[in-house]
Structures are given as structure tokens and as C-alpha cells.
Chain A
Amino acid sequence: EAGVVQSPRYKIIEKKQPVAFWCNPISGHNTLYWYLQNLGQGPELLIRYENEEAVDDSQLPKDRFSAERLKGVDSTLKIQPAELGDSAVYLCASSLDPTSGGADTGELFFGEGSRLTVL
């Protein structure tokens, strides 16, 4: 079974440029997460989707970040314009619907991440 797929793996851009990251979750996983991981830190939630609905976007900097999950499968995270401080790894994760007990097992399935460098 394929895991969570993210692209691109690496991206280098200049500040003020836009960037987009794509995520394909594990088939059948209704819940999709975007996390930000700074060097030497744990993942921090940016946004969580239940199917197409963003149910928790309280930590998403909405002035420059946007996300979408059309048709409740793939998702895209966009930054426009990028700032130097956005350099980090952007992790996508998926899980079964927590209300069905999937995430109660504590299993988030992560992709390998998209490493962003803003110059």
C-alpha cells in the first residue's frame, strides 16, 4: 500500500515568491493534516481537514498561507509571498476518521516532507 506522497521534496525560492506543496494521502484516510517542522522542533499543526472541510485552521497564518482539499483527497498548501522565516519542512499526514476510532490508535501516517528554503 502506498504511503502519504508529497511533492516537491525540496524547493528553493527567493523571498516574496510563491510556492505550493502537494499531498496525496493514504487511500481511505478522511483526515489530512499539514504540519510545519522547524529544525530541532516537533511538528506543529497548520491545518486539519475532515474530508473537504477545514476543521482546524487556527494556526494557519492566513495572510500568506492558504490550503485546499478538493474532493476530499489530495491537498495543496500554498505560501504567497514567502518570507525568510518560512524556511522549514512542511509535513503532510493522514489518518482514519478520528470519530471512527482510527486516530485513537495514535497513528498519524506522515509523508517524507517538503523542505523549503527561502533565500
Chain B
Amino acid sequence: QKEVEQDPGPLSVPEGAIVSLNCTYSNSAFQYFMWYRQYSRKGPELLMYTYSSGNKEDGRFTAQVDKSSKYISLFIRDSQPSDSATYLCAKYNFNKFYFGSGTKLNVKP
């Protein structure tokens, strides 16, 4: 079983839509959870991180962690064409990062 499993997508939405991206994880050791965004032919860049259950908001982005169900979500409000990218969920524990396979998002103008 992989440490982090991610919905593969791709996901195509119209501009202004609310986007929901989801992952599940295994192992319940103390850990951080992250979302990285990767534009085509670029390296991933950190979008958000959290280590607790509940929601963390940053502008149009909300990261949600449900430790009881081992679920990680990223919500994007008022999605823009510039949000078109691949989104990678990840967790960090014991000096290791574990990445999901990524969900490719396309926001159509």
C-alpha cells in the first residue's frame, strides 16, 4: 500500500468553479501534510502545509485534513485559468516526504 494515494484526474472545470482535490494516506504517525503545485515542465512548489486536523485557509485555497478517516483535501474557490497545473499531495514524517501521483487540473476560461 502506498503511503499517499491521490485521485488521478484529470479534472476539467470552468473558470469560477470550486475545485476539490483529494488524497488518502496510510500510517498514523505524527506527520505534516502538504499540497504542492506543479506547472508543466517546472518543479513542484509548495502551496500549503498543515499538521493538524481541520481547515487551513490561504486566499482562495483551503487545505483540509481529517485524521480520523486519513483524508486530505484541497479546495480552490473561484478557480482561474492560472490554476491549471498538477496538484500533488504529500506527507512528511521521519525525515521523509511521500508524494501522491498528482491530479492534473485544467480550468477553462
Q: Is B41 an interface residue (CB 8 A)?
A: yes
Interface size class of B (residues with CB under 8 A): 20 to 34
Contact A42 B92 (CB under 8 A): no
A8 at the interface (CB under 8 A from B): no
Q: How far is the CA of A41 from the CA of B6 in the complex (A)?
A: 10
Task: State A44–B46 Cα separation when bound (angstroms).
Answer: 16
A80 to B43 Cα, complex, angstroms: 25
Instruction: Tell me the smallest distance from the CB of B86 to a CB of chain A, in Å.
Output: 9
Query: From residue B37, how far is it (CB to closest CB) to chain A in Å?
Result: 11
Tell me if A41 and B102 are in contact (CB < 8 A). Answer: yes
Q: How many residues of A contact B (CB 8 A)?
A: 25
Instruction: Tell me whether B96 and A56 are in contact (CB under 8 A).
Output: yes
What residues make up the interface of A, taking CB atoms closer than 8 Å to B? 4, 33, 40-45, 48, 55-56, 91, 93, 98, 103-108, 110-113, 115
16 contacts between A and B (CB under 8 A): A33-B97, A42-B4, A42-B90, A42-B100, A42-B101, A42-B102, A43-B97, A45-B97, A91-B43, A91-B44, A98-B95, A106-B34, A108-B46, A108-B97, A112-B41, A115-B41
Among residues of A, the one whose C-beta sits closest to the C-beta of B48 is A106
Given contacts A98-B95, A103-B95, A106-B90, contact A112 B42 (CB under 8 A): yes
Contacts of B102 in A (CB 8 A): 40-42
B88 interface residue, CB < 8 Å from A? Answer: yes
